[in-house]
Structure 1
């Protein structure tokens, strides 16, 4: 069966996320989240919180740490919860409570209990690509991330920043603009070693 997941990109700084677990897995999940969304509003609760988590939180004003036992009331007001304790039964119990409150849930290393997965992410400035293996193999997702990071040219973000100018300078109808923009982006990929962020034929390379 084909992968039926529906990919979305969440503005996690606009709602509240809870991470349960202050150990190695909790650190991994918090690090992943903040690397992609540094301004994410996150509350992390754990009986014991690793020093690395405390250091990470100290550099992010929107992260709150609660070093204590988890209570069901911690779920109040949350839109998303990532459950990362090291006890399976605890994870299941928190997951069931969160589901009863209609909260999106991710349970670490337990795909069958997840509403969503935290896939590998490739970022080139404003370009962001999320990779999913439908929970089957994080290792393959990681390898694909490495391959895409190497394959995508560094000039990609420069082109994205200039796309509005490029589009505005192009004459002709919509169909012509699409064709021309396709040509420009194809040239960028095929000339990835070129230091010029605007490939040959790009309107920005033409003098007024």
Structure 2
């Protein structure tokens, strides 16, 4: 039976440089996803044309650079991540080839077999962020799970996280001892849930 062997990672997109190739609907969708999670993401978008919505995002976010031209392998220089977001399969494949040669991680929209990483559905409540992956099988299921979790997780959880950080900063001892103490403190969260059942 096939399993999901993806390793979840949260990128600090303001410290990396992302290249998006495509200024249409797909590029806009990917750009939006990144900016919702990191408003100061460092992104260069290369395309022969741009949707007005993409241009509007670039005006709102000073860390976005739009370059109107055809893609070339030189666009990879200095980039850490690439998203091929065109509706031209041959061009997307060419971008994938260039990314592999340049040793740059790539996501080719709607082509799981050419992706080094996926942009999953995200649930966020303040500082809590949960990424959902279906291993490229069904983004629709991931979207539905996002809705369920968004409703199930209380908005007050961020207040709890802030208080736990204050407690963590005051704890004494080495890492192992701090983990034990935090586990003891947060055990009440699980116990209350068990009592309800």
Fold shared by both chains (TM-score > 0.5): yes
Work out the CA distance in 1 between the residues paired with 2:192 and 2:154. 8
Cα distance change, pair 155–56 in 1 and its aligned pair in 2 (3 A): same
Matches within 5 A, 1:1-208: 1-167=2-168, 175=180, 177-183=182-188, 185-186=189-190
Work out the CA distance in 2 between the residues paired with 1:72 and 1:85. 16
Structure 1: unaligned runs, 5 residues or longer: 191-208
- Give TM-score scaled by structure 2 length: 0.89
Larger Rg: 1
- Give TM-score scaled by structure 1 length: 0.85
Deviation string 1:74-104 (CA, Å, 9 cap, x unpaired) is 1111110000111000100111011001000
Quote the residue 1:197 is aligned against. none
The alignment yields a C-alpha RMSD, in angstroms, of 2.1
How many residue pairs are counted as aligned between the two chains? 189
Work out the CA distance in 2 between the residues paired with 1:81 and 1:51. 22
In the alignment, is the contact (CA less than 8 A) between 1:18 and 1:80 conserved in 2? yes
Structure 2: unaligned runs, 5 residues or longer: none
Cα distance change, pair 182–101 in 1 and its aligned pair in 2 (3 A): same
Deviation string 1:166-205 (CA, Å, 9 cap, x unpaired) is 446789x75454223221x347879xxxxxxxxxxxxxxx
Cα distance change, pair 93–159 in 1 and its aligned pair in 2 (3 A): same
